[in-house]
Amino acid sequence: MNHSFYSADRSTHLKIVVVALVAGIAVAGFGISARSNADYTQSAHVIKAGKQITVTSSDASVVR
């Protein structure tokens, strides 16, 4: 087995590609299985109007 990537033969390159492909499939499979187990149901929250209020304005200055 060659330890240099540049001087490696064809079979070593093939092994690297296969290992990377298997690792990619494993990560994708783990991500899909982790997401499908979670409950992502969405529900609408209804906000009802409360009691009516009156908004007024005056020109009096406010002293604090």
Structure tokens given for 23: 């690792």
Has residue 50 been placed in a domain?
no
Has residue 13 been placed in a domain?
yes
Has residue 52 been placed in a domain?
no
User: What is the extent of the structural domain holding 16?
Assistant: 1-41
| pTM of the predicted structure, to 2 decimals | 0.49
**pLDDT(11) > 90:** no
Total number of domains constituting the chain: 1
Has residue 26 been placed in a domain?
yes
Has residue 29 been placed in a domain?
yes
Alpha-carbon distance 48 to 54, whole Å? 18
Has residue 61 been placed in a domain?
no
Has residue 46 been placed in a domain?
no
* Whole-angstrom Cα Rg for the chain: 32
Has residue 55 been placed in a domain?
no
- Give the model confidence (pLDDT) of 22-63 as tens digits: 999 999 999 888 776 556 666 777 888 888 877 777 666 666
Structure tokens given for 3: 């330890």
